[in-house]
Amino acid sequence: MLKKKIVIGNWKMNPPAKKEAESIFKSVLKNLNPKRKTEVVICPPFLYLESLKKLSKKVSLGAQDVFWEEKGAYTGEVSADMIYNIGARYVILGHSERRALGESNIDVNKKIKQSFSVGLIPVVCVGESVRDENHEYLNFVKTQVEECLFGVSKNFISKVIIAYEPVWAIGKNAVREATSEEFREMSIFIKKILSDKFGAKTIEQIRIIYGGSVHPENALGFLQEGADGFLAGRDSLDPKKFSEIIKICS
Ligand code: 13P
């Protein structure tokens, strides 16, 4: 079975007001080809999920994080159930910007299990901060994949989406853009780790997408090297560029 491509927009902590969020969302909707074969997901800040959900069902919604407990006395946290009940179906987990605030692989692992238990599809971010000459970064990513997915049931594992986001290629302060060959190498490596852990058959449907300075100009290269889609940051807030990336995927 052919895997459906997926383009996910991570709005991060933007925009500052609901009106603006609705306006970006509407522009994305306007540019969507109804016959497209690509899945489109927008991950706005929690606060905007409800109003965006009301605007349209044509685009899926996702959260940018979730807590690992089901409910209770956890001030400031948002549960997977809350996200699901508001109509979102995806959740970005283990983003490097959250890891930079102290999130560990063990935290991500608990969040993945909790998300699956309510029906949310986790988009699990992995990626190294630096590419060293000794290729230690490969071990780093291996540990991330293994620890984040530790003990995840075989029934769920094929639904997981892995986003390879090299930290050095993210954001306007990126050291440089990643090349499509670098993505290809890493995606083969990740598939091998998954296949060793969960079996080649189980992992056939797992999508490995690319994130980190994705633009209309470089998207095709990553697709040609096997990317199953994208996790876009800055360009997801620019409806024209985001729509262009979706078109390239389709
Ligand atoms: P940029 O596309 O802005 O580099 O952000 C990538 C990212 O972190 C998506 O999750």
DSSP designation for 207: E
Residue 57 φ/ψ, nearest 5 degrees: -105, 5
Report the pLDDT value the prediction gives residue 1, as an integer from 0 to 100: 63
Q: Return the structure tokens found at 31.
A: 């540019």
Q: Return the structure tokens found at 33.
A: 């080809």
Instruction: Look up 215 and say whether it is catalytic.
Output: no
The active-site residue, picked from 133, 136, 165, 177, is 165
Using the structure block, give the residue that is written with the tokens 């970005």.
92
Report the pLDDT value the prediction gives residue 179, as an integer from 0 to 100: 97
Question: Atom 7, ligand 1: which residue's CA is nearest?
Answer: 233
Cα 231 to its chain centre, rounded Å, is 5
Secondary structure class of 137 (helix, strand, coil): helix
Mean pLDDT of 119-145: 96
Check: pTM over 0.95? Answer yes or no: yes
- Residue 214 CA, closest ligand 1 atom number: 2
**For residue 122, cis peptide bond before it (omega within 30 degrees of 0):** no
Report the pLDDT value the prediction gives residue 202, as an integer from 0 to 100: 85
225 alpha carbon – ligand 1 mean position (Å): 19
Mean pLDDT of 31-54: 95
Go through the domains of the chain in sequence order and give each one's CATH number: 6-13+37-88+102-177+186-249 (3.20.20.70)
Position 250 confidence tier, pLDDT thresholds 50, 70, 90: confident
The active-site residue, picked from 20, 70, 95, 244, is 95
pLDDT tens for residues 173-195?
999 999 999 999 999 999 999 99
Distance CA 108, CA 230 (A): 20
Secondary structure class of 9 (helix, strand, coil): strand
Position 57 confidence tier, pLDDT thresholds 50, 70, 90: confident
Instruction: Look up 95 and say whether it is catalytic.
Output: yes
231 within ligand 1 shell (Cβ under 6 A): yes
212 within ligand 1 shell (Cβ under 6 A): yes
**Average pLDDT of the chain, as a whole number:** 96
